[in-house]
Structure 1
Amino acid sequence: MPIDDSAAGDLFEERLGDALHRAGNGFDADRRALAAGGEARGRRSRSRRRIAVTGSVAGLALVGVGGALLVPRTDLGRAPADTGTSKVRTEKHGHVMSAADMIEALEKTLPAGRFSGETGRPGDHPLGPSALVVHDDGHGKAAVSVGVNLVDPASPAAGEGVTCPDRSLTTYDTCGTSTLPDGSRLMIFQGYEYPDRRTDTKYWYAQLLTPTGRQVNVSEWNAAAEKGSPVTRPEPPLSPAGLKRVATAAVWRRAADGLPKPRETSDPTTTWRTPADGKAVLDTLVSLLPEDVTVASRGADDQEYAWVIVDDGEGRSLVQINVQAGMGDVEGQLFGGAETLPDGTKVVTKKAPAEKGGSGASMWTADTIRPDGLRVVVSAFNADRQGAAATRPAPALTMSELRAIATSAKWRSLS
C-alpha cells in the first residue's frame, strides 16, 4: 500500500483543523472563527475558532470557520514557547503504530469493498497517527479518514469537540451526542463540506473522547476526496451507526496509547494565564456596540469567545469576538507592520471574503494586542451566520466601530 505522507498532510492538516480542531486537538482554542493577525485563532466548528495564519495543524495555527487563527497551547490557558525552542518534553508509552498499521486498521474497520488512495501517518508523527483511504463498496467511491489524538479530557477544548455546533453559526442536517457505558462521549455530525452548499459534497464525522483523553475522529465524504472531486453517491458510506462502530474500535485507543504524552517543565515562558470568562466577554461586547444596532441573538462559550447577531434596520449581521491573555509569543507572527497606538497597543484591520462564506460573503476584522499580551480580535460579517451568502452589502458595524470595540480599555478588566 502506498504511504504518501505529504499527500496525507494535504487532507489532514486541513480536515483535522476542521474536525479534530472541533475537539481542541490539544490546543486552547475557541471554536468559532475570527480572522486574526489580519490573516489569521480559535476553536472550530461547534464554531468557535481562533484566527490562523496557516491551514496546518502541524505548527502554529489552524484555520477555523471564517479563516481564524488557532494558536496551539501546551496546556489550557498556557501560552506556548517558541516552536523551535520549546522546552516541553514528551514521554512515549505503549506501542507506536506505523502508517501502514493505521491504514490496515482503518480498512479492517470498514465494510467490505475495494480500497485505493491509501495514505497515512505513524504514531510518532508530530500531528499524530492518521489514515485516509478511498473506499468503494460498490455504490461509489468515498474518502474515509481517521485521526487519533491524546488530550486533557477535563479541558474545555476537549469537551467542546463533542458538543454539537450552534445552528445559528453552523449549517448542518443532523448532530447528536451520547455517553457510552464506559463514560466516553461521542458526537456524530452530518453536514456539508461547504456550508453554503455550493456543491453537494456531504461531510459526516464521528468524534470520540474517552475519560482518559483518547480522542478519535472518523470523517467521510460522498466523493473520492473532500474537495475538488465530483460527488459519486448520494451519501457517505457509513451511517451514524457505522461511524460509531468505527470510531469506538479498540484499535484507535491502542493507537492513542502510543502517542507522546506531554510532560511540563518549569519553563518560565509557560506562565499560567486565566482565560477570560465567556459571559463577561459577551456582556462587554454588547456594552460596546453602537447605539444604532439592536441585538437579535447572542451567545458565548465558557471561555474567551462570544458572538451577537445585530440588526441596524438593513438586515442581520454576525459579530464575534475573542479575548485572549498571554499572546505575546505570537505578536511577531500576527502583528508585523501593525499600527502602534500611544499606549503600545498594536492594531491590524482587514476586509476580506469570508473563507467559508457563500456568494458575496465578507468578513471585516480588527485585531489588537496590548503590550502585556492581551489580544482582542473582533469580526463582523455581511450575513447572519458563518457559511451563508451575503444578505447585505457590508457588515452592520463599520471598520472604525470594530476598531473601537477591539481597542476599548474595558477588556483589560477581563484579563
Structure 2
Amino acid sequence: MPVDPHQDPFEQRLTTALHDTGDTFDTDRVALAERGTLRGRRKQLVRRAGVVGAATSVVVACVGGALILRSGGPATEAAPSSLAASAKPKPSATATATPMTDQQMIDTFKSLLPKGTFSQEHGQGTQKTDKLKVPAPFATLVFDDGKGAAAMNVTVGRVQPGGTQARQAAQCPDKAFVAYDACKTSRLTDGSVVTVLQGYEYPDRRVDTKYWSADLVTPTGQQITVSEWNAAAEKDSPVTRPQPPLSPAQLTTLAAAKEWRGVANALPAPRPEPELPGSDLHARADLLALLPKGLKVTDRSSDDDGEYAYVVVDDGKGASMVQVNVQPDMRDVAGDLFGADDETLPDGTRVAVHQGPGEKGDVVMWTVDTMREDGKRVVISAFNSGSQKGPATRKTPALTIAQLRTMALDARWWDGS
C-alpha cells in the first residue's frame, strides 16, 4: 500500500527511515536510537506530513534521527489551481469548511488528476473515528495515465501558523542527509509556501524508485501534502515508468487546489506547539568554536538554533563530517548507553567511546558519548566521509578520539555558553 491510513505520515516516514538505516546496527541500539529520536525531537526534526522518502539519519552511537533542513529560498510564483479545470482562480486560504467522507476524499482526489485509470483506492475523511481521535484526511490510489502505474496520495492537515512545522515546510532537506535531484520552495500569490522535492524512496538508491512531493502551507496554517512515485507502490514494487506522472508544476497545482482548503478548515484547530528541549542551544556555533586548528570547514548545517549540528572539515587529506547532538536529560536510557567498563569522571560524568562502521560501504564512524549526572548528554561523532550517505573520502576521520573527547567534555556544552 502507498500509505498506512492509521499512521501519522511523518511518523510513517520516520519509521521507514529507521528501518532502512537500522540494518547496520544490532537490535538494542536500533530501539534505543528510535527512542532517542522520538523523545528528543528538535525544531529541525518537526517536518511536515510525509517529508521525504529517507529523511532521517540514525547513528551508531544512538545520537538519534538527524533531519537537517536548509532553506530553499522562497520565490514568488503565480498561484495554481486544479489540474482538471480550464480556469485558474487563485486558491483561497479562507475557504468554507468542507467536511468529507472517506469516499469523497477519494473522489475529490481523482477529479483533480489528469485523465487516466484508477485502482487500489483508499481514503480517510474528516469524520472522527475510534482509531483517529483527530482525523488526518487522506486519499491514496494507483493512477495510470497510459504510461505506467504510479502510487499517489494526498494528506490534509492544519499546523500552527508561523510555528515550527509551518517553517520547516518551507525548507528543502539538507543534501548531506537526503539524496534528491531537485528541490524548490516558492511563494504563491496568496502567501502560501510550497516546497516541491524530487527525490528517491530509498536512502541508498538501491532501487530506482523515485519519490516526488509537494508540501504546501497557507498563511492560516492549512497544510496539504501530495506525493507520487514511479511505481505502483511506495516500496517493494517494480518501477513502472521513468518518472512519476505529475511534473513539479502539476504537483504544485494539485496541492494548491481550493478543494483541500475546505477540507483543512473542517479539521480541529492545531494545538499550540510546546517549547522543545534544547531550544536555547546553538550547537553549530559551539561545534565550530571547538574544532581543532588546522581544519578547513567546507560545509555546515544551515540552522544554528537547536541541539544538533554538523560541519564538514578537511585537513588536506579529504572531507570528514563531524556532528554533535546535545540532549537535555537522557537518564532514563543511561543504562543502555553506558556499561560498567566505560569511564566515569570524578564529577560523575560518564564517557563511552565507539569506533565502528558507518551506514554503508567503507565508511567508519568514531564517537565519544558523554552524560552528566543530571542526564545532559553530548555526543560527538566524526566520519571518514563528507556525508553519512556518501562514500569514504579518507581512511579515518579527520579528528582523533582524543580530540572528540576534549570537544564533548568542554564546559560550554554544560554551561550553555
Specify if TM > 0.5.
Answer: yes
> Residue 280 of structure 2 aligns with which residue?
276
State the match for 1:322 in structure 2.
325
For residue 237 of structure 1, report the CA deviation from its aligned partner: 0.3
Q: How does 1:131-150 map to 2 (within 5 A)?
A: 131-150=139-158
Structure-to-structure mapping, 1:206-225, within 5 angstroms: 206-225=214-233
- Give the distance between the partners of 2:206 and 2:153, measured in 1 at CA: 23
Hey, what does 1:75 align to over in structure 2?
A: none
SS at match of 1:105: helix
Is 1:177–1:187's contact at 8 Å kept on the other side of the alignment?
yes
Secondary structure of 1:286's aligned partner: helix
Structure 2: which amino acid aligns with 1:178? S
> Identity of aligned pairs, percent?
45
Q: Which one-letter code corresponds to 1:112 in the other structure?
A: K
Q: What displacement does 1:180 show?
A: 1.0
Partner of residue 311, structure 1: 314
What are the equivalent positions in structure 2 for 1:58-137 lying under 5 Å apart? 64-66=56-58, 69=64, 97-123=100-126, 124=128, 125=132, 128-137=136-145
Q: Residue 383 of structure 1: CA displacement?
A: 1.9
**Match of 1:382, as an amino acid?**
N
Going from structure 1 to structure 2, the CA distance change for 1:235 and 1:331 (only over 3 Å counts) comes to farther
Indicate how the Cα distance of structure 1 residues 118 and 331 shifts in structure 2: closer, same or farther if over 3 A, else same: farther
Q: Counterpart in 2 of 1:160?
A: 168
Q: How much has 1:11 moved relative to structure 2? A: 7.5
Match of 1:53 in 2: none
Q: Residues 252-271 of structure 1: matches in 2 within 5 Å?
A: 252-263=260-271
Quick check: 2:4–2:12 contact (8 Å CA) kept in 1?
no
Please list the CA deviations of residues 4-35 of structure 1 after superposition, one character each: whole Å capped at 9, or x if unmatched.
9857649774337789xxxxxxxxxxxxxxx9
Q: In structure 2, give the amino acid aligned to 1:275.
A: S
- Higher radius of gyration, 1 or 2: 2
CA drift of 1:190 comes to 1.3
1:239: how far off?
0.4
Whether the 8 Å contact between 1:314 and 1:392 is mirrored in structure 2 is: yes
Q: Decide whether aligned partners of structure 1 residues 11 and 152 sit closer, same or farther in structure 2, where only a CA change above 3 A counts.
A: closer
Q: Quickly say closer, same or farther: Cα 1:117–1:364, change in 2 above 3 A.
A: farther
State the Cα RMSD in Å.
Answer: 4.1
Please list the CA deviations of residues 156-191 of structure 1 after superposition, one character each: whole Å capped at 9, or x if unmatched: 442122222344554322222211111111111112
1:188 aligns with 2:196: yes
* 2:255 aligned with 1:247: yes
Deviation of 1:311 after TM superposition, in Å, equals 2.2
Unpaired runs of at least 5, structure 2 = 18-29, 67-95, 339-343
* Closer/same/farther in 2, CA of residues 223 and 159 from structure 1, 3 Å limit: same
2:390 is equivalent to residue 392 of structure 1? no
Bigger drift between 173-182 and 239-248 goes to 173-182
CA distance in 2, matches of 1:337, 1:106: 46
Higher mean alpha-carbon deviation, 130-139 vs 250-259, is at: 250-259
Matched with 1:198 is 206
- Please state whether the residue corresponding to 2:361 is helix, strand or coil: coil
Letter in structure 2 aligned against 1:247? A
- Do 1:122 and 1:130's aligned partners in 2 also have CA atoms closer than 8 Å? yes
Residues 130, 388 of structure 1: alpha-carbon distance in 2 compared, 3 angstrom cutoff: farther
Q: Structure 1, residues 118-138: CA drift from partner, whole Å, max 9, x if none?
A: 334444435722332221111
**Does the CA-based 8 Å contact 1:113-1:135 persist in structure 2?**
yes
Structure 2 CA distance for partners of 1:12 and 1:99, relative to 1, 3 Å? farther
Would you say 1:380 and 2:382 are equivalent positions? yes
Structure 1 gap segments, 5+ residues each: 20-34, 51-55, 72-92
Whether the 8 Å CA contact 1:172–1:195 is kept in 2: the answer is no
Could you say what secondary structure the match of 2:146 adopts?
Answer: coil
Whole-angstrom distance in 2 between the partners of 1:235 and 1:4:
16
8 Å Cα contact 2:180/2:198 also seen in 1 = yes
> For residues 367-407 of structure 1, what are the alpha-carbon distances to aligned partners after superposition, in whole Å with 9 as ceiling and x for unaligned?
55545564434333332124223333443334554444334
Cα offset for 1:139?
0.6
- SS of 1:396's equivalent in the other structure is coil
Q: Which shows bigger deviation, 379-388 or 242-251?
A: 379-388
Name the residue aligned to 1:405: 407
Aligned to 2:12: 14
More displaced, 5-14 or 294-303? Answer: 5-14
| Shift >6 Å, 4+ stretches | 16-19
Question: CA separation of 1:12/1:102 partners in 2, compared to 1, >3 Å: closer, same or farther?
Answer: farther
Question: Conserved in 2, the CA contact under 8 Å of 1:4 and 1:120?
Answer: no
Name the SS for the 2:172 alignment partner: coil
- Alpha-carbon distance in structure 2 between the residues aligned to 1:341 and 1:140: 62
Q: Secondary structure at the match of 1:301?
A: coil
TM-score, with normalisation over the residues of structure 1?
A: 0.70
Find the aligned partners of 1:4 and 1:298 in 2 and give their Cα distance.
34
Task: State the Cα distance separating 1:98 from its structure 2 match.
Answer: 4.2
Q: Tell me the amino acid that sits aligned with residue 211 of structure 1.
A: P
CA distance in 1, matches of 2:276, 2:177: 31
Deviation at 1:238, TM superposition (A): 0.5
What SS does the aligned partner of 1:207 have? strand
* Residues 1:119 and 1:272: Cα distance change in structure 2 (over 3 Å): closer
Q: CA deviation at 1:232?
A: 0.8
Q: Counterpart of 1:164 in 2: which secondary structure? A: strand
Q: Matches of 2:304 and 2:165 in 1, distance apart? A: 10
**3-state SS of 1:243 partner:** helix
| Residues 396, 240 of structure 1: alpha-carbon distance in 2 compared, 3 angstrom cutoff | same
Once residues 415 and 177 of structure 2 are traced to their aligned partners in structure 1, the CA distance between those partners, rounded to angstroms, is 28
Paired residues, number: 353
